[in-house]
Structure 1
């Protein structure tokens, strides 16, 4: 009697566990999905945001601001899906952003521009965290890339806005 009960339990467990295996084709498709690149140039081009460029006056003002130029180059690489700068060591990124903030030209040291550089710091460090951690969702990584691009674009917008405001303050009324 015990042998029958024992055999019945073993056969019952075997029947229950046999149906849980995934077909090998499903396993292969999951592996290929995880091996696909997360961020491509096509994905970045499909982002919907307003990309502001510096005006000619803005470019002459930031010509001596070396860290801004370096950041602009790295953002251009980011638009081409080259994440090597943002995927690097966090302490190097932090040092870069600190020197960027300290080297702001005196003509551009206003609260809106300083706050935009702080926002860039936050977004760059957040992107670094999302890229270096393996358990972060791909959609969140894409959103972080988009946030860095938006933050840099908004810095350009604030620089243009400040220079335009300075120009209009120099113009005196004829009346």
Structure 2
């Protein structure tokens, strides 16, 4: 099991979890002009958002937390990660993550952020279960989640309709004990 030897649990090797600042709203809104970003992020219909719509949400909400992802080397905003729909009585939450620009994807930022947010979820928030869903065409995200230790728990067949085709919505989850055993390896 991981100990408290890390001096700052909001830092990984490539990214850090940060509070939103006012200037982030413009960057977050610009992300929504990228169709590929929107179609991988959510099952809702893709539509660009205004600065007010896309702007940072409150970091601490009754049923979730959201962090901005900033690079360690340049302190540059690259995306967000959130634990939402927290059910405190069940020690369960859902996870959402987005890397905004295509040039920042595939560089390990998302995997680093997953490691940080899972440690936060299991050790700081004392959660026992984290779940997420991913659209079947988003194979890069699916494999990143599997690598992080998420297990496919089921599929909602033809749940997402995009570009005249239907796709499955894959339900994935991870338990605290699975995450801790992965750390032992």
Range class of TM-score, shorter chain: under 0.3
Relative to its length, the structure with more helix (as a share) is 1
TM-score where L is the length of structure 1? 0.27
Relative to its length, the structure with more strand (as a share) is 2
